[in-house]
Structure 1
Amino acid sequence: MNLVQLVFNSLLYILPAYVANAGACIFGGGTPVDLGRYFLDGRRILGNGVTYRGFFFGLLCGCITATLEGILINLDLLGTPEFHYNLFKWMYVGFFLSLGALFGDMVGSFIKRRLGIEQGKPAPLLDQLDFVVFAILFAYPFAPITLDMIVTILIITPIIHLSGNIVAYLLGIKSMWW
């Protein structure tokens, strides 16, 4: 597999997680998952940025993305024979990628609160990699990928994440560019 194909296949695999993570941000707001509660250290468990609405819509957006990918792959419009699963497999792998991404983002938020990092403040690499690491962990039992794909995802995600945040900031979706 050449480098372009490796990057393309890696992006195709992780795209539902990316969309779930972005969808939670775009459609979030409302009641926080931690219900405003505090942890044993006196800090919020997760913070106001992790909400039920964001979780639901992030999961929905990620699942829709995976379903659309499955349709395109099975129609052979993307020319990726490695990924010729049935549509149902695309849907449940997308569900686990999305669920893992959202859970990973919660774990990242929990860690940031324990480190005393306020909501919206940057935590380099934690902010960019928490969601993809958990997405891969959740989906791997159902759709294992190669080590070179995992490494590729871990390398390109910070670049894509930062670029996406800058675009979201410029569009007024995020209040900070990071």
Structure 2
Amino acid sequence: MPSRSSTLVCGALALFCQLAQAHAPAQVFVFGAPGKAVDATRTVEVTLGDIYFAPKVLEVKAGETVRFVLKNEGKLVHEFNLGDAQMHAAHQREMLDMQSAGALAGHANMAGMDHGVEMSHGEANPAASMAHDDPNSVLVQPGQTGELVWTFTEASGLQFACNVPGHYQAGMVGEIRID
């Protein structure tokens, strides 16, 4: 049986970890940060299709805040994720883990076009802890519209991509040029 002092220490440590996590600094991106729609200097519409983006190249200015309106006109769930090739590779592994845990259902069979998404937030589900809530990313259901607002800084090698398993590899990636 644990002593009263060890129980207090464990409780204090758990509280400290919760507070540290709640006050952790926001994720930093070398290419910018999430923006506010009211600060956007323009709106850019991007079509997400099976398996493509239109347009394939986007041009933005350093310091510009852009509101992306993302229209999924395909039959598959798609993602619009900002990052470089290395970030996309890491995110693809996370998305594969989400699929394996049941947070993304039906993505293994692209030919069957059964690409529903099951996202769980706080429910008794092993996939519940795998929320798709990255500030540089939006998951858009078929026939739906999503939005991402971003303030860009200078960076090179920036891409927008769909990291749903297999989609990036099938060519669902585009380039962002920052002037």
Higher relative contact order (CA 8 A, sep 6+): 2
Please indicate, yes or no, whether the TM-score normalized by the shorter chain is above 0.5. Answer: no
More helix by share: 1
**TM superposition score normalised by structure 2:** 0.22
The structure number with the bigger radius of gyration is 2
